[in-house]
């Protein structure tokens, strides 16, 4: 099937016009969006303070908290009911159970603890992180809220 010259011209015109925004407002919005987006559909946050960063072993862990430290020994005996006695901080930072409240708390708290030792100016001290974890274990709501607070601090850290 061959197209007539008029059909070809219409098709070419449609193709040409589809390359340009319909209005100046759309053009401005398109330009602004292009400047903000990194160019990928999915980006993963890998700042210097996130659990993903600490689990990647990109930087030496603080001496106060070796990678082989167990959650039980670092955060205290109350955590053994929820996490067991042999889970290490390295394993906790590398977990992919973010949809579950208590594992998410532990993941963010582990990163916050490491940041409290390794990052000058981190908003929580090591003692505060440990205390807040124990306090957050009383309910799913408390754990979720505290995990969110730790996550915000970890993401904002440099």
Q: Is residue 135 part of a domain?
A: yes
Residues with Cβ within 8 Å of 140's Cβ and at least 6 positions away in sequence, in order, are 101, 102
What dihedral angle (degrees, nearest 10) is formed by the CA atoms of 139, 145, 149, 151? 90
Regarding whether 100 and 63 lie in a shared domain, the answer is: yes
Regarding whether 93 and 28 lie in a shared domain, the answer is: no
Mean pLDDT, rounded, for 3-13: 74
Instruction: With a cut of 60, say whether residue 126 has pLDDT above it.
Output: yes
Q: Is residue 25 part of a domain?
A: yes
Percentage of the chain beyond pLDDT 90 is: 56
Instruction: With a cut of 70, say whether residue 122 has pLDDT above it.
Output: yes
> What domain range includes position 122?
51-156
Instruction: With a cut of 60, say whether residue 36 has pLDDT above it.
Output: no
Regarding whether 144 and 103 lie in a shared domain, the answer is: yes
Q: Is residue 152 part of a domain?
A: yes
User: What pLDDT score was predicted for residue 43?
Assistant: 45
What are 67-97's pLDDT values in tens digits? 899 999 999 999 988 999 999 999 999 988 7
Q: Is residue 43 part of a domain?
A: no
DSSP letter (8 states) at residue 4: -
User: What pLDDT score was predicted for residue 14?
Assistant: 75
User: What pLDDT score was predicted for residue 37?
Assistant: 47
User: What pLDDT score was predicted for residue 57?
Assistant: 86
Regarding whether 122 and 55 lie in a shared domain, the answer is: yes
Regarding whether 78 and 14 lie in a shared domain, the answer is: no
Helix (H/G/I), strand (E/B), else coil: 148: helix
Regarding whether 87 and 30 lie in a shared domain, the answer is: no
Q: Is residue 44 part of a domain?
A: no
Rounded to an integer, what distance in angstroms lies between the CA atom of residue 130 and that of residue 147? 13
Higher-confidence position of 35 and 3: 3
Regarding whether 79 and 148 lie in a shared domain, the answer is: yes
User: What pLDDT score was predicted for residue 15?
Assistant: 67
Q: Domain tally for the chain?
A: 2
Q: Is residue 119 part of a domain?
A: yes
Q: Is residue 15 part of a domain?
A: yes
User: What pLDDT score was predicted for residue 123?
Assistant: 96
Query: DSSP string of 63-119?
Result: TTS-TT-BHHHHH-GGGHHHH-SS-BHHHHHH---TTSHHHHHHHHHHHHHHHHHHS
Rounded to an integer, what distance in angstroms lies between the CA atom of residue 49 and that of residue 153? 9
């Amino acid at each position: 099937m061959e197209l007539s010259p008029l059909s070809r011209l219409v098709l070419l015109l449609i193709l040409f016009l589809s390359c340009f925004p319909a209005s100046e407002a759309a053009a401005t919005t398109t330009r602004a969006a292009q400047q903000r987006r990194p160019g990928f559909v999915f980006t993963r946050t890998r700042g210097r303070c996130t659990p993903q960063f600490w689990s990647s072993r990109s930087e030496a862990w603080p001496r106060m908290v070796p990678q082989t430290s167990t959650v039980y020994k670092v955060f205290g005996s109350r955590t053994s009911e929820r996490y067991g006695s042999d889970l290490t901080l390295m394993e906790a930072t590398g977990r992919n159970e973010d949809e579950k409240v208590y594992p998410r708390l532990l993941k963010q708290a582990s990163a916050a603890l490491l940041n409290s030792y390794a990052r000058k100016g981190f908003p929580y001290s090591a003692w505060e992180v440990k205390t807040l974890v124990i306090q957050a274990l009383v309910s799913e709501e408390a754990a979720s809220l505290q995990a969110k607070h730790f996550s915000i601090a970890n993401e904002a850290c440099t």
